[in-house]
Amino acid sequence: MATPPELTLRPVRPADRKRVVELTQDVWEGRDYLPQVFERWVSDAGSTFQSAEIDGVVVGVQRLRPYAPGLMWYEGLRVASTHRRRGIARAMLDSAIGEAREQGFTEMRLGTASPAAVSLFEQAGFKRLVDIRWWRAPRVEGGEPARIPDPAEAERLWSAVSATPGLDLYHGVAADMTGAHDLDAAELSRLAGLGMLRAAPGGRAIAGLRPAWSDNISVAFVAGKGAALRDLLFALRYEADADGLDHVTIALPRRHPAAVDMNACGYDLVNAEDNAGVYGLKL
C-alpha cells in the first residue's frame, strides 16, 4: 500500500510521551524500552528523535544518533499497530537514510532481533555485519574480577589478540546492539578509557563490554583462546558477583569456536533460534 501523502516528520516533544507509551504497548509483550529512555532521548540535542504524524496524531517514532566518526546509529523505529502495513516504516527509514547522507555520514548501522524488521532493512539495502548468539552465566563467588587495562596498554593488546580464533567472525564490528563500533586497536583504547574493557592475565584474552540492558554484565565481543579465555570468562562471573549483579551475557557470532569454552565455564546459549544481528548500510 502506498505511503499516506499526509505523513509528516517532526522532532519528538516532551508532551508526546503518553502517545509514545501507547504505541509501544504491544512491543515485546509490553516490555519495550522506549518509555524508559524517552526523557533522555527527547532531551539529547546531539541526536535526532523524530515522530511521524498523520492528521496530527503520532503514528511512529525513530532516532538517529551519531556515535563515531562517519557512523550513524539508527534505533527506536516504531509504528502504531493501527497504522502498520501502509509503508510508513519504510518512508521513515528512507527519510532517515537521506538525512544521514545529507549530514555527510558514510555508514548507517543498527541492531535488531525482529524478523519483520530484518526484512524491512534488507529491502532498504542493509547488509548483516555480524550474526549474534547470546550466552549467559549466573554470577559466582570465589575469585578475582578481571583486570581493566589502561588505554595505552589496551591499544597494545590488539596485536596479541587480533588473530585469535573466531574474532574474524565479528567482521570487524563489535556485536553491540546499542552502537556497533569498529573493532581495532583504537576501539580497545576507547573502551579501556571508559572502564569497559577486561583483560586476562598477560593480556592474552580480552572482553569488550557494552551498556547493560538489565542487572548484568554485557559483553559485546571476546578475543582469545584456551586457558586465558576461560580464566577471563570465569573472572567476568566473579565480577558480576562482586558488583551485586545477576549474571553475565556475552555476544558471540554463530559458529564461534569459543562456544566450547562457554560451555566449559558455565555459560548457556539463550537465543539459538533468534534473528539478532548488527546491520550496516554504506551511504
CB 126 within 8 A of CB 77: no
Give how far Cα 120 sits from Cα of 210, 226, 279, Å: 26, 40, 12
pLDDT of residue 2: 42
- SS3 at position 201: helix
Q: Do the beta carbons of residue 90 and residue 97 sit within 8 Å?
A: no
Going from the C-alpha of 55 to that of each of 4, 52, 59, 233, 263, the distances in angstroms are 10, 10, 10, 53, 54
Mean predicted confidence (pLDDT) in 266-273: 89
| Residues 280 and 108 sit within 8 Å (Cβ to Cβ) | yes
For range 116-143, the mean pLDDT: 95
Say what the pLDDT of residue 271 is: 86
Helix axes 185-193, 151-161, angle to 10 degrees: 140
- Amino acid symbol at 21: V
User: Residue 5: its pLDDT value, please?
Assistant: 63
Percent of the chain at pLDDT > 70 equals: 98
The β-bridge partners of 74 are 64
Task: State pLDDT tens for residues 18-69.
Answer: 999 999 988 877 788 999 999 999 999 999 999 999 999 999 999 999 999 9
Helix (H, G, I), strand (E, B) or coil at 103: coil
Q: How confident is the model at residue 1 (pLDDT cuts 50, 70, 90)?
A: very low
Per-residue model confidence (pLDDT) at position 4: 61
CA-based torsion, 24, 29, 35, 40: positive or negative: negative
**Containing H/E element for 193?**
helix 185-193
Going along the chain from its start, the domains and CATH numbers come out as: 8-105 (3.40.630.30), 132-278 (3.40.630.30)
pLDDT digits (tens, 9 = 90+) for 63-89: 999 999 999 999 999 999 888 888 999
Cell of 113: 532481533
* Per-residue pLDDT at 13 exceeds 50: yes
Q: For residue range 188-211, what is the model confidence (pLDDT) as tens digits?
A: 999 999 999 999 988 999 999 999
Strand runs labelled E in the chain: 8-11, 48-54, 57-68, 71-79, 107-112, 127-138, 197-199, 206-210, 216-223, 247-253, 268-269, 277-282
> How far is Cα 275 from Cα 143, in angstroms, rounded to an integer?
35
What pLDDT is attached to residue 69? 96
Q: Would the pLDDT of 116 be above 70?
A: yes
What is the pLDDT at residue 145?
Answer: 94
For the chain, the C-alpha Rg in angstroms (whole number) is 20
What does the pLDDT average to over 248-253? 96
User: Is the pTM of the predicted complex or chain greater than 0.85?
Assistant: yes
User: What residues have CB less than 8 Å from 169, skipping those under 6 apart?
Assistant: 130, 252, 253, 254, 255, 256
